Amino acid sequence: MEKNIGIALDQMVPGHGTIPLSPYYFWPRKDAWEELKELLETKWW
């Protein structure tokens, strides 16, 4: 794991902390950018 990067999206909610919007994607083991893009395209917002 020392040469991998973990990527995830969280939403900041004032007074409540953060809410995870996506799971962690680890790069370079997978194409994290492509997986994150596909996840975001499934969201209605």
DSSP 12-41: EETTTEEEE-S--EEETTS-HHHHHHHHHH
Q: What is the pLDDT of residue 13?
A: 92
Q: What is the pLDDT of residue 22?
A: 85
Q: What is the pLDDT of residue 12?
A: 92
Q: What is the pLDDT of residue 34?
A: 78
CATH hierarchy code of domain 5-42: 3.30.390.140
Cβ–Cβ under 8 Å, residues 18 and 11: yes
Q: What is the pLDDT of residue 1?
A: 58
Q: What is the pLDDT of residue 40?
A: 83
Enumerate the domain spans of the chain: 5-42
pLDDT digit string, tens, across residues 1-45: 567 778 888 999 999 899 888 887 776 666 667 777 888 898 887
